Structure 1
Amino acid sequence: MKKIAFIGAGSMAEAIISGIVKANIFNKENVIVTNKNNKERMERLEKKYQIQSIADKERVIEGTDIIILATKPYDLEAAVESIRPYIQPEQVIISVIAGISTDYISKLVGKNAPVIRAMPNTSASIGFSATAIAAGNHATESHVKEAEALFATIGTTAIVKEDEMHIVTGISGSGPAYIYFLVEAMEKAAVESGLDPSTAKALITQTVLGAGEMLKSSGESAEVLRKKITSPAGTTQAGIEALQRNDFQHAVMECVKSAHDRSIELGKSK
């Protein structure tokens, strides 16, 4: 069975590890995590998921089939430098780092190893990630299919052009946080109106799940679904008008644009 190594042990790495461990697509002893120097974090992941945490970078890379780069953007150079002597051309490198191009990673690696860029989200931990995948230097169709099969075990996938990854970052990459922020506001309004917090959370959570399932299974657009439940002069109409008065749609569009622009900035800084 294949071996996969995570360079970086942050929240995204953990989300993917959690997802692939639950999907049982790797033997746990073939899932390895390492980071710069946070031994406590590595040991916590090892204990929680029964995987391996190894500080010695040569041992991490030796015999590994898939290398997942999951560091912060500003830690990437040092991380690649620490493993570069041990990377072999047949090893597939998958980056889940926002804003960083495959060309730049290839330059850091300095070898002809195939590089693929992916943008999952933290819903990977429960098998509901939406992951975009883009091929980089020396990545063949076979390598892309391998990456697609990996991320398909933790949610849905889409193959995109690399220059589309910035907007992907702004929607599906960061998107869960926007939904959580909306839910925070709805919960606060419910509690301020006298509803029990646990009841508010349960109702809002199911509402979000139901809306997502309707978008997925009904075949209808968000606009059509919205209009179907917005009766003239009704309660939903009153709520929508309040959102319109506060320029809700523009705020969301600016939110996505800001994340998109920040992704571009991160790439330009390299």
Structure 2
Amino acid sequence: MKKIAIVGAGSMAEAFISGILENGLIDRKNVWVTNNSNQERLHRLEERYGVRGTYDLNVLFDGADIVMLAMKPKDASSAIDYIRGHLTEQMLVVSVLAGVSMNTIETLANKSLSIARSMPNTSAAVGKSATAFAVNNRVTTEQLETTKKLFGTVGLAAFVAEEQLDAVTGLSGSGPAYIYYLIEAMEKSAVEVGLEKEMASELIVQTLIGAAEMVKNSSKTSTQLRKEVTSPGGTTEAGIRILEENGVQEAFISCIKAATAQSRKMGDALCSQLKVGKTF
């Protein structure tokens, strides 16, 4: 990797900047970033990380072998149209745009491109993202290895087929919000049963971390681990019974299906708007 040009300067772009630099993937002087018009935001990134911000597209793309598309999905059409003259077939285009297919990106750019499309989540900010990515058939072996290293700087990276990315969006892309929602409920219940909020929050966070580590490091399934904790007539069984009576598991399944469907809907809407057909 010689130089990366990041189009978009939001929280996801910052997470990658931090990860790239912390892992020594590229020198900070070769990390360039731009956004639509928020000069203050660019200045903050320059000060915090020592990267370079610019609105001069000639400077931004000069010598860049990787271009990251990190704007909001709704701005993809106008942003790619704005930079299309600077995109070349030799560049690796890395997209973190939810619901935007690789075919759509090529159509917007009006040229063939080497593309890696990904779905990270907001835990990238602390280097713990669960990122899935797909590539098109123009990506070289070298570019694929670079892609793996790039996504590895913000957490776990898993290679999937592009048609699976909507499901990944519904599961792990939106997943942190589901967990935060669960934490909210646990915090409220803790107060109602008489625990101090600060202490309860510490217990909840450590409980989630511990449970996640158990699932990660144990050869047992999550179902087996749950049953081992659930003694007949015990406290856990009483709690699980209420969750089952209220259909909590079914609600989570429906939640992930709805988020997956919304990802597909967003992609289809953009394709329809641009009169682009999906390739999967």
- Tell me which interval the TM-score lies in, with the shorter structure as reference length: over 0.9
CA offsets 1:50-70 (integer angstroms, 9 cap, x no match)? 221112222111111211111
* More displaced 10-residue stretch of structure 1: 41-50 or 73-82: 41-50
SS of the equivalent of 1:111 reads coil
Q: How does 1:122-133 map to 2 (within 5 A)?
A: 122-133=122-133
SS of the equivalent of 2:111 reads coil
CA distance in 2, matches of 1:185, 1:24: 39
Give the conservation status (yes or no) of the 8 Å contact 1:151–1:157.
yes
Question: Partner of 2:116 in structure 1?
Answer: 116
Give the conservation status (yes or no) of the 8 Å contact 2:2–2:63.
no
Question: Partner of 1:213 in structure 2?
Answer: 213
Report how far residue 18 of structure 1 moved.
2.2
SS of the equivalent of 2:112 reads coil
CA distance in 2, matches of 1:30, 1:146: 15
Question: Partner of 1:228 in structure 2?
Answer: 228
Extract structure 1 runs of 4+ deviating beyond 6 A.
none
Give the conservation status (yes or no) of the 8 Å contact 2:68–2:94.
yes
Query: What is the TM-score normalised by the length of structure 1?
Result: 0.95
Give the conservation status (yes or no) of the 8 Å contact 1:58–1:83.
no
- 5+ long unaligned stretches in structure 1: none
SS of the equivalent of 1:269 reads helix
Q: How does 1:67-216 map to 2 (within 5 A)?
A: 67-216=67-216
CA distance in 2, matches of 1:207, 1:36: 41
Give the length in aligned residue pairs: 270
The letter of the residue matching 1:122 is T
Give the conservation status (yes or no) of the 8 Å contact 1:103–1:136.
no
SS of the equivalent of 2:116 reads strand
What's the % identity of the aligned pairs?
47
Report how far residue 39 of structure 1 moved.
1.5
Report how far residue 137 of structure 1 moved.
4.9
Question: Partner of 1:241 in structure 2?
Answer: 241
CA distance in 1, matches of 2:257, 2:57: 38
CA offsets 1:210-260 (integer angstroms, 9 cap, x no match)? 111111111221111111101111111111111111110111011101110
Give the conservation status (yes or no) of the 8 Å contact 1:103–1:137.
no
Question: Partner of 2:41 in structure 1?
Answer: 41
CA distance in 1, matches of 2:144, 2:119: 14
CA distance in 1, matches of 2:138, 2:25: 25
Give the conservation status (yes or no) of the 8 Å contact 1:61–1:83.
no
CA distance in 2, matches of 1:109, 1:267: 17
- 5+ long unaligned stretches in structure 2: 271-280
The letter of the residue matching 2:37 is N
CA distance in 2, matches of 1:46, 1:189: 43
